A and B are shown apart, each in its own frame.
Chain A
């Protein structure tokens, strides 16, 4: 009961932030989440038609929530690495949950049907869900694709940022931020690096 109330409270706060900022002329939708905050749960439709929430992963020790899409070249460059990341950590309790936050009326290649097509082509082993009401990405504070939020079991944000330090060339990657952060969590430590920045495509939403 307490949990439900907590979730509801968070949703109300998230909605409040969303409403407050959409009316301003500010470039970002809101502050979103910072490392240490509790991430709100969500219920979004997966490509297989099922509804996915964080709570539905009963065995999870954490979550690799990645805002991504079909159409952004940076997101596409990371598809294979996302598959590898999921396969490496899912058995350790850290699944990827990929969320497409884009408005398909702006970017038709990011429609639910196109998500299904892409997931099938690439045989995504992880959930690929659609933020169709565009309420989850502002609550998290995601601004671009790809944009990673690593959560622990309690949904506390442990890391925000890039997957690794070289989007353009996987072979030249020298630091794998998400893997390092998960390894730290598994070792019972705080991640050494909790925030990074990367280039990405702006999340597509209608203004005003």
Chain B
């Protein structure tokens, strides 16, 4: 309960000031995937966790567990991203309770978080975890996601511990997405 209050407070703070909030990373930092519930609540309240600096978000690519992570970079202004989002949602729903976690990293612009991103998440009742990355110096962090990434979105990274697969493309349908995830889920 106390955690919920904290989460709510963060949400209100974020909505009211929009200033750099490095503390938001505490919501997820180095925690196990069991935090999904808390994060879903954050989304339901409106604003997902916001990261000003890539370094604060880097841990999501480095989890050394037996959970399969599917990390998608997207934005509400990116048409192919929005088109494939339902497939990621389907994945989240299908593998609920299993060691599979979808993280949607939004690259929406700071000014449009309240006006576009939050309404979008509500309208589409997005269940997957959503994080916002605002770090503008892409040249400094694109290679950290994957050296082969040109910088175009959408991209999808699937990993489990040391195993990794990177896709700089969008998925035609749910089957295409599940096909690249399945080898990780044994």
Decide: A165 and B139 in contact? CB cutoff 8 A: yes
In the complex, B151 has a CB within 8 A of chain A: yes
Nearest chain-B residue to A174 (Cβ)? B137
User: Interface with A: B6-14, B18-26, B61-69, B77-85, which one?
Assistant: B77-85
Decide: A166 and B136 in contact? CB cutoff 8 A: yes
**B residues in contact with A198, CB < 8 Å:** 138-139, 142, 151
- How far in angstroms is the closest Cβ of chain B from A15? 22
In the complex, B153 has a CB within 8 A of chain A: yes
- How far in angstroms is the closest Cβ of chain A from B94? 24
Q: A143-B168, A168-B110 are in contact. Are A200 and B136 (CB under 8 A)?
A: no
Q: Count B-side interface residues using an 8 Å CB cutoff.
A: 25
Decide: B138 and A202 in contact? CB cutoff 8 A: no
Against A, the Cβ 8 Å flags (1 = close, 0 = not) of B128-147 are 00000010111100110000
- How far in angstroms is the closest Cβ of chain B from A146? 10
Q: Secondary structure at chain B's binding surface: helix, strand, loop or mixed?
A: loop
Decide: A167 and B136 in contact? CB cutoff 8 A: yes
In the complex, B152 has a CB within 8 A of chain A: yes
In this complex, the interface size class of chain A, counting residues with CB under 8 Å from chain B, is: 20 to 34
- How far in angstroms is the closest Cβ of chain B from A35? 15
Q: A27-B168, A73-B109, A143-B168 are in contact. Are A201 and B136 (CB under 8 A)?
A: no
Complex Cα gap A135–B179 (Å): 31
Decide: A200 and B151 in contact? CB cutoff 8 A: yes
In the complex, B149 has a CB within 8 A of chain A: yes
Decide: B139 and A162 in contact? CB cutoff 8 A: yes
**A residues in contact with B78, CB < 8 Å:** 201-202
Nearest chain-A residue to B110 (Cβ)? A168
In the complex, A154 has a CB within 8 A of chain B: no
Decide: B136 and A197 in contact? CB cutoff 8 A: no
Q: A27-B167, A27-B168, A197-B142 are in contact. Are A172 and B136 (CB under 8 A)?
A: yes
Decide: A203 and B152 in contact? CB cutoff 8 A: yes
Near A by CB (< 8 A), chain B positions 103-120 give 107, 109-110
Nearest chain-A residue to B75 (Cβ)? A73
- How far in angstroms is the closest Cβ of chain A from B87? 16
In the complex, B150 has a CB within 8 A of chain A: yes
Within the complex, which residue of B79, B137, B152, B170 is in contact with A200, where a contact is CB–CB below 8 Å?
B152
**A residues in contact with B75, CB < 8 Å:** 73
Decide: A196 and B152 in contact? CB cutoff 8 A: no
With A28-B168, A166-B137 already in contact, 17 other A-B pairs whose C-beta atoms are closer than 8 Å? A27-B167, A27-B168, A143-B152, A166-B136, A197-B139, A197-B142, A197-B143, A198-B142, A199-B138, A199-B151, A200-B151, A200-B152, A200-B153, A201-B153, A202-B152, A202-B169, A203-B152
- For the complex of A and B, the 9 pairs showing the least CB-CB separation, nearest first, are A144-B152, A202-B152, A143-B150, A197-B142, A196-B139, A27-B168, A27-B169, A166-B136, A197-B151
Residue positions of B touching A, CB distance < 8 A: 75, 77-80, 107, 109-110, 134, 136-139, 142-143, 149-154, 167-170
